[in-house]
Chains A and B, each alone.
Chain A
């Protein structure tokens, strides 16, 4: 059976094509201005890699904030939809069978999910609709510090100092970072504080669902080593960032497409 999962995130779109439980095609690209158009292009890339056509795919599940864009619409015409939480848990357990807690931090949302051995969701909490709880916060702070996002995490690892950051809101935190720079605070120390702040918010959210080992990390922000370190410090336990962090949601959706 050939199925596909498509994850339409606020920043990137991920597509996974599966055949009998194995990934045979995948593609990632930017959501851009027209999400549906971008999705079609990325979907075609994944099909090409899998060497199949749309007609070969029996079931397609859409997930992500933009999932309605392709649900029963256009050439993709997804057959169903699942929430990000459901897809994330399924995908994370597929890649890391011992995962019982899944942390997903994307550009606009943070999620903490507790799941069982089959990847079924037991409990979850989300940080959404506020930029302070997700990757956008880190991005905005990197911009305020005039540091490239890719280097921001590494920069924070150079510091061992914790300096207090008072602002909770991204907009106010931008001004606070600028003030700190003007006061000649080392950029590495500011970077560490930024990562600590976001890790702290994610940790509190996780406490609401209860943390069970093993803990895995997915979503775009998992690529940031400074964030992973800050999260480990905050939780005081080992965390495994999944190699397939970008496509966990899309993979989960593709698996669910096969179950329905």
Chain B
């Protein structure tokens, strides 16, 4: 499942996409994210699935533009820690 967490408002598109078919539930993203955006838990959108997956948890979903700001300087942007840490390559950012 391609789970798109985030939103689009007048100022732009702010989505983190987690491909739950690729996610192995390792939890590296949970550890590295300075804004503590991620959690590994049972997939709420697939109630009959038994394996946990990474999700963008709770209230954070609606603040991504601000929550991710620290990792996204306008100039000299380094690779994002969450994407770098995800070995299966399950995480994408839209902006």
The interface of chain A, by Cβ under 8 A from chain B, is 123-125, 127-133, 166, 168-169, 200-201, 204-205, 207-210
**Bound-complex Cα distance A168 to B11 (A):** 13
Are A205 and B63 in contact (CB-based, < 8 A)? no
Are A208 and B63 in contact (CB-based, < 8 A)? no
The interface of chain B, by Cβ under 8 A from chain A, is 9-11, 59, 62-63, 65-67, 69-70, 72-75
Task: Please give me the residue from chain B that is nearest to A109 by CB atom.
Answer: B11
Are B74 and A130 in contact (CB-based, < 8 A)? no
Using Cβ atoms and an 8 Å threshold, which residues of chain A touch B75? 123
CB distance from A115 to the nearest CB of B (A): 13
Are A125 and B11 in contact (CB-based, < 8 A)? no
**Bound-complex Cα distance A127 to B62 (A):** 15
Are A129 and B11 in contact (CB-based, < 8 A)? yes
Using Cβ atoms and an 8 Å threshold, which residues of chain B touch A129? 9-11
Are A130 and B9 in contact (CB-based, < 8 A)? yes
Are A207 and B70 in contact (CB-based, < 8 A)? yes
Q: A128, A131, A204: which has the most chain B beta carbons within 10 Å?
A: A204
Are B9 and A169 in contact (CB-based, < 8 A)? yes
CB distance from B13 to the nearest CB of A (A): 12
Using Cβ atoms and an 8 Å threshold, which residues of chain B touch A169? 9
Are B73 and A210 in contact (CB-based, < 8 A)? yes
Are B11 and A200 in contact (CB-based, < 8 A)? no
Task: Please give me the residue from chain B that is nearest to A202 by CB atom.
Answer: B66
Name 19 A/B residue pairs within 8 A (Cβ), A-sorted. Answer: A123-B75, A125-B74, A128-B10, A128-B11, A129-B9, A129-B10, A130-B10, A130-B11, A132-B9, A166-B59, A168-B62, A200-B66, A204-B66, A204-B67, A204-B69, A205-B66, A207-B69, A208-B69, A208-B74
Are A124 and B74 in contact (CB-based, < 8 A)? yes
Are B74 and A201 in contact (CB-based, < 8 A)? no
